[in-house]
Amino acid sequence: MIDAVVIVLREVLEAMLVCCVLLASSYALGAKRIWLLPVTLFAVGGALLYATNLTALTDLFDGRGQELTNVLLLMLTGASLLFYLAQLPGVITQKTSGVTPALYASLIVASAAAMVRELAEIFIYIFSYGIASGQTAPVVSGAVIGAGVGVSLGIFIFFGLLWLGKRRCLQVSAVLLSLIGAGMMSQATRFLVQSGFLPGEHIVWDSSWLISESSLTGELLHALLGYDATPGIEQLAVYFASLLIAILLLRKLSVNQSLDVDSLRH
């Protein structure tokens, strides 16, 4: 059962982080709808579709289907996070109340794509492994605990970010989203290497002796910064390129510009 808790928790962590930071950021901008709920329901459907068709999907494109689906979902998350960040300075300076349709679109796409990927793996673990091997009780109860811990952590981060106040919340969450987005792009690059689209010949460093990827610290750093103990040169290039784009997009959000964020919400 402990294994089930850990497996599900590590799958939940990444998507949870994307969702709760986006949620906090959108509420600080004045979003009034509970947009995450329908997105979650949609993602559950998408993940079930993904999980039930994975065998056929894996065989597509000369055995590269699974990797390319992951690349698509990761890049979709990464790109829509950047799209969200691109709009932030504009929305804040215009002082228009709340969230524009374009902002909603990027919120929805980023969180949905992140959730589909992680939920699909959880469904595969529960149905195609746990229940299929007759370990229904330990796997399902472990999964419920793991998901519960992950969601509680998300709620904690969500309220923590809002507690900072609207302005700080927007700044901190923008930084977090830049880092998470860069991590997603780096993971997408890793799947391109795994499917043979990129060479992946040069491993830049090996820090597995310091922080193992499968340790709790490693998992948290992975979800937050896209930590990889043995990153390839392509991964690092894409990571820093994505981070650089985020910094360029966000430079208007710097502290010295007096943005009256607190007047956003009526």
Distance CA 87, CA 100 (A): 9
Does residue 174 bind another protein (CB under 8 A)? no
What does the radius of gyration of the chain's CA atoms come to, in whole angstroms?
A: 19
Does residue 60 bind another protein (CB under 8 A)? no
Which span sits near another protein by CB under 8 A: 24-32, 38-46, 109-117, 188-196? 188-196
Which span sits near another protein by CB under 8 A: 18-26, 109-117, 155-163, 199-207? 199-207
Shortest distance, position 201 Cβ to another protein, whole Å: 6
211: tokens are: 């922080």
Does residue 199 bind another protein (CB under 8 A)? yes
Distance CA 126, CA 7 (A): 10
Does residue 54 bind another protein (CB under 8 A)? yes
Does residue 180 bind another protein (CB under 8 A)? no
Does residue 125 bind another protein (CB under 8 A)? yes
Does residue 101 bind another protein (CB under 8 A)? no
User: For another protein, what does the binding mask look like between residues 203 and 222, x meaning CB under 8 A?
Assistant: x--x-x---xxx--------
Does residue 178 bind another protein (CB under 8 A)? no
> Can you tell me which residue has the tokens 């103990």?
229
Residue 45 or residue 199: which is nearer to another protein going by CB?
A: 199
> Can you tell me which residue has the tokens 């969702």?
19
Does residue 240 bind another protein (CB under 8 A)? no
Shortest distance, position 256 Cβ to another protein, whole Å: 20
List the end-to-end C-alpha distance of the chain, in Å, as a whole number.
Answer: 49
Segment 127 to 156, residues that bind another protein, using CB under 8 A: 128-129, 132-133
Per CB under 8 A, residues contacting another protein are 3, 6-7, 54-55, 58, 62-64, 66-67, 79, 82-83, 86-87, 90, 102, 121, 124-125, 128-129, 132-133, 190, 192-201, 203, 206, 208, 212-214, 228-232, 238, 241-242, 245, 248-249
